[in-house]
Amino acid sequence: MQKFIACLPVLCIFSFATLAQQSFEPGYILEHNRDTVKGYIETGLEYELTRSVKFKTDVNAVVKELGPLEISGFGLGKSVYQNVIFLNTINNTRVNAFVKQLVTGEYNLFSYATADRKFYLLRKDTTDYFMYGQVTRASGEIDEDGNYQNILHFISVSCNKIAGIYDRVGYNDKDMAAFILKVDNCLSSGRATSFYEKPKVQVHPFIFIGGFPVSGMNQFTAHFTLRFITPQIDKKSSINIGLYYSNTLVETDERSDYFVLYTLSTHNHVYSIPVTFQYNFTSGIVQPYFYAGVSGAYSTKTANSYTTGIPSSSNQFGVALVLGIGIEARVISQLYIKADWRYEVLMQYPAIGVAYRF
């Protein structure tokens, strides 16, 4: 355990040097008079950013939430969002939203998202093409046909080199941007620009210390975890890797070799490097979650055994299944109260304690 705890400061220093990304990132807003104001923008899911953006002029400034009525666009990293009015041809309604620009050229390509669906808007001069993919039911039955391949075929028919690959274009930002860029370069002799950027991964380091100090069910847990999150795709899911230690006391009634009844106390120590997938059911102040994965685990047992067949000590090393559920509640800023119930090597008792996110 001493070696485990000694590693925590090293990992913390490493995390401060390399994991300084927070929920706000450098960006800018474009006012309706075309003035550009630099500051910080809160990262979010794409469908959230279509409605409004949370902006502050510096790190300690008051956050303002701005919608299409207040600004004409904004930039976050390489991503550019424009305030655009267009017709949603599925329900025949006009939409005023921030749409993410993917390509500029003869055809301008934008992406637009709702909570449950992704769309693309293709604009040439005053003509818009609202593109959508196929929708299927859980049974595999087609609920709604997509139109995007027909439109891609229509706009590329005069470009012999790419007209034949329209049906191999995937319904995602990367493939759509690459295809429209080729069309634009074909039609405008290389004057097109792509704004496509791979979704950024944020890495959040957490330290948690907790326990379950109940007679006969004693539990102590400490772990350092790095959470890898792509907030523009899914704020609630993460891939976690870290260092983990637990000491679980299990007490049972046993008989000694002389048939005397006694309490067998077994201390189960687990040292591991787990890799798990975690899903948080909410993204508010209180977040229940579950996780699953595997770990490289070294475990030891020590017991006050007076019974032949029950060793007083043992150890093992191997790959272990990791399953867990829990709940964490933010108290102030980056401080959390957390309860975590975990299976790794053995079913452990719930650990209740404090977590801190750097």
Return d(Cα 86, Cα 108) in angstroms, integer.
13
Percent residues over pLDDT 90 in the chain = 63
- Mean pLDDT, rounded, for 299-310: 88
Q: Which domain holds residue 288?
A: 200-357
79: its two tokens = 């991503």
| 41 CB burial (10 A radius; 0-12, 13-18, 19+) | buried
Give the pLDDT confidence score for residue 312 in this predicted structure: 86
250 in any annotated domain:
yes
The answer on 257 and 329 residing in a single domain is yes
Number of domains present in the structure of the chain: 2
Give the pLDDT confidence score for residue 67 in this predicted structure: 95
* Cβ–Cβ under 8 Å, residues 41 and 53: yes
The answer on 204 and 132 residing in a single domain is no
151 in any annotated domain:
yes
**What's the CATH code of the domain at 255?**
2.40.160.20
Among 168-172, 208-212, 256-260, where is mean pLDDT lowest? 256-260
115 in any annotated domain:
yes
pLDDT digits (tens, 9 = 90+) for 109-161: 999 999 889 999 999 999 999 999 998 877 778 888 999 999 999 999 999 88
pLDDT above 90 for 225: yes
Among 98-112, 117-131, 235-249, 305-319, where is mean pLDDT lowest? 305-319
Bridge partners (DSSP) listed for residue 256: none
Amino acid symbol at 275: V
Give the pLDDT confidence score for residue 17 in this predicted structure: 36
Return d(Cα 64, Cα 31) in angstroms, integer.
14
174: its two tokens = 């990367």
- Ranges 12-21, 181-190, 220-229, most confident: 220-229
Last residue within a domain, chosen from 194, 209, 230:
194
Last residue within a domain, chosen from 141, 159, 194:
194
11 in any annotated domain:
no
The answer on 293 and 179 residing in a single domain is no
The answer on 224 and 190 residing in a single domain is no
The answer on 257 and 187 residing in a single domain is no
Give the pLDDT confidence score for residue 35 in this predicted structure: 93
211 in any annotated domain:
yes
The answer on 247 and 329 residing in a single domain is yes
The answer on 168 and 269 residing in a single domain is no
13 in any annotated domain:
no
Number of helices (H), then strands (E), belonging to the chain: the values are 5, 22
Q: Are strands 286-303 and 142-144 parallel, antiparallel or unpaired?
A: unpaired
The answer on 178 and 39 residing in a single domain is yes
The answer on 219 and 169 residing in a single domain is no
The answer on 227 and 173 residing in a single domain is no
Among 92-101, 166-175, 224-233, where is mean pLDDT lowest? 224-233
Last residue within a domain, chosen from 135, 161, 194:
194
9 in any annotated domain:
no
55 in any annotated domain:
yes
Give the pLDDT confidence score for residue 23 in this predicted structure: 76
Return d(Cα 17, Cα 6) in angstroms, integer.
18
The answer on 56 and 163 residing in a single domain is yes
The answer on 246 and 292 residing in a single domain is yes
pLDDT digits (tens, 9 = 90+) for 154-206: 999 999 888 889 999 999 999 999 999 999 999 887 788 999 988 878 898 99
Neighbours of 309 (CB within 10 A): 6
Q: Are strands 93-104 and 142-144 parallel, antiparallel or unpaired?
A: unpaired
pLDDT band at 6; cut points 50, 70, 90: very low
Give the pLDDT confidence score for residue 5 in this predicted structure: 40
Return d(Cα 3, Cα 10) in angstroms, integer.
11
* Cβ–Cβ under 8 Å, residues 329 and 335: no
Taking each helix axis from N to C end, the angle separating 148-156 and 173-188, rounded to the nearest 10 degrees, works out to 20
To the nearest whole number, what is the mean pLDDT of the chain?
A: 88
Greater confidence, 2 or 79?
79
* Cβ–Cβ under 8 Å, residues 351 and 340: yes
Give the pLDDT confidence score for residue 2 in this predicted structure: 43
pTM here is: 0.69
